[in-house]
Amino acid sequence: MDNAPKHLLEFGPFRVDPEQRLLLRDQQPVALPPKAFELLLALLQRSGEVVLKDDLMKLLWPDTFVEESNLGQHVFLIRKALGEKAQGSSYIVTVPGRGYRFAHRVTALPSEEEEIVVESHSRSRVVIEDRVGGRVDHGAELAGFPEQALKALPGRISGWQRGKVAALVLIGAMTSAVAVWFFARPAPMPRVVRTVQLTYSGRVEPFGPAFTDGSRVLFAERLGGTQSLAQVAEQGGEPALVVTSVPSIELYDIDRHHSRMLAASQGTTDTPYPLWIVPTSTGSARRVGDILARYAAWSPDGQQIAYSAAGDLFIVGDDGLQPHKVFTAPGVIGFLRWSPGGEHLSFTVRSSSTGTTSLWEVAPDGRDGHQLSFAGKDSFKGWGAGECCGDWSPDGRYFLFRSSRDGVASLWIVPRQKRWLQRGVNHPVQLYTTPDRINEPRFSTDGRKILFVDYQEKRELVRYDSARKLFVPYLGGIPARHISFSRDGLWVAYKNQLDGCLWRSRVDGTQALQLTFPPLDVYHSTWSPDGKTIAFEGSGRLYTIPFDGGTPERLLPEEAAGGQPSWSADGKTLVFTSWSSPHDPIALLDLTTRQVQVLPASEYFEGPRWSPDGKYIAAGSIKDKKLMLFDLESRLWSELADGAPYGWGIRWSSDSKYVYYQHVFREEQPIFRVRVSDRKVEQITSSREILRADVLSYSMTGLTPDNSPLASFVHTNSDVYALELELP
């Protein structure tokens, strides 16, 4: 906004900085998308007036036609950021049929244009007074010239001399005030000057990085369940595939000379992969010894590699020999980055119990491992629940990271070099916000750009029609996942991907009811045999909730984590994956006594599902890449089928004769079923039968009562973007 005010605006506990495009509450940044910020600023500038909807639409979208509902959505985002719970609350008032009015008093705070005034009281002090009458007393004493001494002067020196002394005192006071202002002034902050979309294919791997070798931007491109290495010019354009010997490549890092990348060959989620060194030009990729890693990063000199496996951090030479563990974190380690000087390793820790992420740092020898804080331990107060994916600028002056809160992703930058007596340094500065999903940001080679993948998640629920051999919309194509049905086949429960909440409805979509609410993030619902209760995983915990709504009940102690529940045939027990025990085994929870029993030989299993007849439990073995069957009578596991099944998609047929599963990490992402009696495997469908070109990938997410696979389509909408920076 060209006519945006230069001074700060304050209302209630909030402060708005138009130049830095920041909304603060009690000095803590509040995430707000760019258009919502512009709307808030427009309402603040005309506080007390009714601002017409047409005027706001022209202001926010001057050259684009959008529906009026977009304006209402942005008003909702502002109200949510301000903590309002209803339209009649204290800040924004809706005037039906006309527009909106900001009802709270708005105060303009001092600008940088200030006048210096000297006041004389018992001791001379310096006061900085601004144009709007704000006063800041810096308490700068005029050393050696207290007022009592000035009063004693008339008997000893002439009036002219007294005037000269007073003038000197005034000059000294003004000099002190200027010095105080100079050293205490806020530091200039980094800002984004332009946003550029570099690719338009929509098929960039949403959860991978994009980094540059100085002339090209390298990234992974999704094709069904596999990923291929791709490149695009730094200025953007048409992506081109890069030939490499590493199948289904997952990128980790590029060295400082931009000649070698660290990568893995993707298998299943959250599994350590074989680590590879991939040249950026010609030559063959090579394994890094026998290293299995979940993430990896080059040291500044390119001689060492830091890598993680679950919660352990290791250092190894680029030959892969003699790795040594340097640190163990309270969660899963990812997104490793080495500081340019080699003094620090930064990384993200994801809590196994809550799923939240936080930024950490440790010395390469394992000393001083700690969660990151900036400018004092309290400056990150309120942070630590959704921060991730840090990166260092090439000169080491700035640290960049991503934050995700309440459905809004944002990028923040932190100056890491403090200037003497200057305020505002080492506090996070917000650079960018979006309602889309963004993965780890990376600096360009000159540190003047930030590269990242933007992903607008668009999902569609479909059913596979085996007679017509095609996928058709189900429940109106709502963005639902983790589908489960009541035993009588009349009701369905699902996660709505838009809000992350648990819903239930009739199988025709009627009588829909929201059962849970944010911030609880729901997965894997399962119905009790009597249809009265639904068990589910919520933010890494196990819960039950009545079918007709109520308060979710926690099933395990506070410190215990688990997920992927499935109900026994008699309704007395849940089988689930225990994340509180080492190696994530399968366990049984007695719902009467709340006692937990770990199943034998079930380490690194996922997605347990109880057969409707109660005789078996099917689960996927991550380590052995098998679909396994547990016989509850013999208490033994046996192999059902080969290959790594997608644990979230394992389902039993209603007659307990078949287990349905998917190989989601193959290119065509086939769906199979295996007959329990003779282990005969039959392919049901694959992505070849998806006739639409706008589908990026899909995953099996349920099975209807008549045994038709349900799948979640992910539509193409992921590309590489660059933010061009102005850095002080």
DSSP string covering 1-62? -TT--SS-EEETTEEEETTTTEEEETTEEE---HHHHHHHHHHHHTTTSEEEHHHHHHHH-T
pLDDT at 456 over 80: yes
Span 456-479, mean pLDDT? 93
Residue 713 phi, psi dihedral angles, 5° rounding: -80, 135
Q: How many Å apart are CA 60 and CA 295, to the nearest integer?
A: 41
The bridge status of strand 442-443 relative to strand 357-362 is unpaired
Is residue 167 very low, low, confident or very high in pLDDT (cuts 50, 70, 90)?
A: low
Across 265-269, 307-311, 487-491, the highest mean pLDDT is recorded for 487-491
Average pLDDT along the chain: 84
Identify whether residues 128 and 104 lie together within a single domain: no
Q: Which helix (H) or strand (E) holds 251?
A: strand 249-254
1, part of any domain: no
List, for residues 313-356, the tens digit of each pLDDT value.
999 999 999 999 999 999 889 999 999 999 999 999 988 666 78
466, part of any domain: yes
Identify whether residues 297 and 346 lie together within a single domain: yes
Identify whether residues 589 and 519 lie together within a single domain: yes
pLDDT at 450 over 80: yes
Q: How many Å apart are CA 138 and CA 325, to the nearest integer?
A: 52
Q: How many Å apart are CA 718 and CA 715, to the nearest integer?
A: 9
pLDDT at 331: 87
Residue pair 482/524 in contact by the 8 Å Cβ criterion: yes
pLDDT at 194 over 50: yes
Both ends of the chain: CA-CA distance in Å? 22
Higher pLDDT, 59 or 580: 59
Q: Can you say whether the dihedral through the CA atoms of 471, 475, 481, 485 is positive or negative?
A: negative
Q: What DSSP character marks residue 647?
A: G
The pTM (predicted TM-score) of the whole model is 0.69
pLDDT at 144: 37
* CATH of residue 74: 1.10.10.10
What does each C-alpha distance from 715 to 84, 169, 599, 692, 728 come to in angstroms? 33, 72, 39, 10, 40
| Domain closes at, from 66, 81, 108 | 108
Rg (the chain; Cα; Å): 30
Q: Spell out the residues 6+ positions from residue 634 whose beta carbon is closer than 8 angstroms to its own.
A: none
The angle formed by the CA atoms of residues 607, 608 and 609, to the nearest 5 degrees, is 115
pLDDT at 185 over 70: no
Residue pair 554/565 in contact by the 8 Å Cβ criterion: no
Higher pLDDT, 688 or 155: 688
Identify whether residues 439 and 586 lie together within a single domain: no
Angle formed by the axes of helices 34-45 and 53-60, nearest 10°:
130
158, part of any domain: yes
Q: How many Å apart are CA 609 and CA 616, to the nearest integer?
A: 8
Residue 112 phi, psi dihedral angles, 5° rounding: -75, -10
Percent composition of the chain: helix, strand, coil (DSSP 3-state, to 5):
10, 45, 45
Residue pair 241/222 in contact by the 8 Å Cβ criterion: no
pLDDT at 224: 83
Total tally of structural domains belonging to the chain: 4
Higher pLDDT, 124 or 580: 580
pLDDT at 561: 86
List, for residues 564-579, the tens digit of each pLDDT value.
999 999 999 999 999 8
What does each C-alpha distance from 346 to 294, 371, 449 come to in angstroms? 15, 10, 20
Q: Spell out the residues 6+ positions from residue 156 whose beta carbon is closer than 8 angstroms to its own.
A: none
pLDDT at 418: 53
Is residue 435 very low, low, confident or very high in pLDDT (cuts 50, 70, 90)?
A: confident
Closest CA to 14 of 2, 6, 4, 24: 24
Identify whether residues 592 and 696 lie together within a single domain: yes
List, for residues 202-239, the tens digit of each pLDDT value.
999 998 999 999 899 999 998 888 899 999 999 999 99
| Domain closes at, from 52, 76, 108 | 108
Is residue 76 very low, low, confident or very high in pLDDT (cuts 50, 70, 90)?
A: confident
Higher pLDDT, 27 or 149: 27
What does each C-alpha distance from 581 to 521, 536, 560, 637 come to in angstroms? 22, 19, 9, 20
pLDDT at 707 over 60: yes
pLDDT at 679 over 70: yes
Residue 153, CB half-sphere, CA atoms under 13 Å: how many?
A: 17
Residue pair 638/679 in contact by the 8 Å Cβ criterion: no
| Domain closes at, from 55, 83, 108 | 108
639, part of any domain: yes
Q: Which helix (H) or strand (E) holds 76?
A: helix 69-82
pLDDT at 426: 64
What does each C-alpha distance from 223 to 238, 249, 598 come to in angstroms? 16, 11, 38
What does each C-alpha distance from 241 to 205, 244, 478, 678 come to in angstroms? 13, 9, 34, 43
> What number of residues does the chain have?
728
List, for residues 506-540, the tens digit of each pLDDT value.
999 999 999 999 878 899 999 999 999 999 999 88
Tokens of 447: 């540190």
Domain that holds residue 287: 191-456
What does each C-alpha distance from 290 to 294, 304, 313, 320 come to in angstroms? 13, 15, 16, 7
Identify whether residues 412 and 279 lie together within a single domain: yes
**What residues does 135 pair with on adjacent strands?**
129
Closest CA to 599 of 571, 566, 569, 570: 566
Region of residue 666 (left: phi > 0; alpha: psi -120 to 50; beta: else): beta
615, part of any domain: yes
pLDDT at 125: 37
* CATH of residue 633: 2.120.10.30
pLDDT at 493 over 60: yes
pLDDT at 240: 93
Q: How many Å apart are CA 105 and CA 529, to the nearest integer?
A: 57
Residue pair 291/275 in contact by the 8 Å Cβ criterion: yes
Write the DSSP string, 121-180: SSSEEEEEEETTS-EEE-----TT--HHHHHHGGGTS-HHHHHHHHHHHHHHHHHHHHHH
Identify whether residues 524 and 432 lie together within a single domain: no
Q: Which helix (H) or strand (E) holds 296?
A: strand 295-298
Q: How many Å apart are CA 515 and CA 548, to the nearest integer?
A: 8
Identify whether residues 527 and 641 lie together within a single domain: yes
- In 10 A of CB 635, how many CB atoms? 10
pLDDT at 117 over 50: no
Span 263-286, mean pLDDT? 81
Q: How many Å apart are CA 249 and CA 228, to the nearest integer?
A: 6
| Residue reference for tokens 């079930």 | 602
Identify whether residues 667 and 547 lie together within a single domain: yes
List, for residues 373-411, the tens digit of each pLDDT value.
765 433 444 555 689 999 999 999 999 999 987 778 899
pLDDT at 154: 42
48, part of any domain: yes
Tokens of 689: 């039968």
Percent of the chain topping pLDDT 90: 55
518, part of any domain: yes
Q: Spell out the residues 6+ positions from residue 240 whose beta carbon is closer than 8 angstroms to its own.
A: 230, 231, 232
Percent of the chain topping pLDDT 70: 82
Identify whether residues 487 and 627 lie together within a single domain: yes
724, part of any domain: no
Tokens of 635: 């208490």
CA dihedral 81, 83, 86, 88 (to 10 degrees): -100
Higher pLDDT, 111 or 360: 360
CA dihedral 551, 552, 557, 560 (to 10 degrees): -150
Q: Spell out the residues 6+ positions from residue 171 whose beta carbon is closer than 8 angstroms to its own.
A: none
Tokens of 664: 């989601």
Which of these ranges, 90-94, 208-212, 309-313, 434-438, has the smallest mean pLDDT?
90-94
Identify whether residues 169 and 201 lie together within a single domain: no
pLDDT at 108: 83
Q: Determine the residue type at 371.
A: Q
Q: Spell out the residues 6+ positions from residue 182 whose beta carbon is closer than 8 angstroms to its own.
A: none
| Residue reference for tokens 């990812």 | 334
pLDDT at 262: 96
Identify whether residues 697 and 620 lie together within a single domain: yes
